């Protein structure tokens, strides 16, 4: 179930296909295993989208609350210094991965509205 609450690439919006976004998410997911834990979580950049950045965070087992997602995909605004949208899931099965791709693909509208 995907919960909703928003490796840098040099691709532009028009160059990113859903398959490329999916590959970025999978790479980020794998990269989490090699990322040091900081303050109870691990975070990696999935893709940079202008002044926005899509980040994937894994919450450590000790920090997880019952019923809350283990992984969070957030759209972070460098201009605002905060996440502007996020969604979470406990695994990346086919449906959740498709929703995560859609989340990042829809971030273009967020990026355009912030500029």
Per-residue model confidence (pLDDT) at position 91: 87
Report how far residue 64's alpha carbon sits from residue 88's, in angstroms, rounded to the nearest whole number.
Answer: 12
Split into its structural domains, the chain has a count of: 1
pTM above 0.75, yes or no: yes
Per-residue model confidence (pLDDT) at position 63: 86
User: Is 13 a residue whose pLDDT tops 60?
Assistant: no
Report how far residue 17's alpha carbon sits from residue 19's, in angstroms, rounded to the nearest whole number.
Answer: 5
pLDDT tens-digit map of 78-108: 989 999 999 998 888 999 999 999 999 888 6
What mean pLDDT comes out for the span 18-42?
93
Domain of 107?
2-113
Going by pLDDT thresholds of 50, 70 and 90, the confidence category of residue 114 is low
């Amino acid at each position: 179930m995907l919960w909703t609450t928003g490796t840098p690439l040099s691709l532009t919006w028009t160059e990113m296909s859903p398959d490329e976004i999916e590959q970025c998410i999978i790479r980020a997911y794998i990269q989490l295993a090699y990322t040091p834990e900081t303050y109870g979580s691990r975070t990696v950049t999935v893709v940079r989208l202008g002044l926005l950045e899509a980040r994937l965070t894994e919450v450590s087992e000790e920090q997880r609350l019952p019923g809350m997602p283990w992984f969070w995909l957030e759209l972070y605004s460098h201009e605002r210094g905060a996440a502007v949208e996020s969604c979470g899931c406990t695994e990346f099965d086919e449906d959740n991965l498709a929703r995560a791709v859609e989340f990042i693909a829809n971030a273009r509208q967020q990026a355009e509205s912030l500029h």
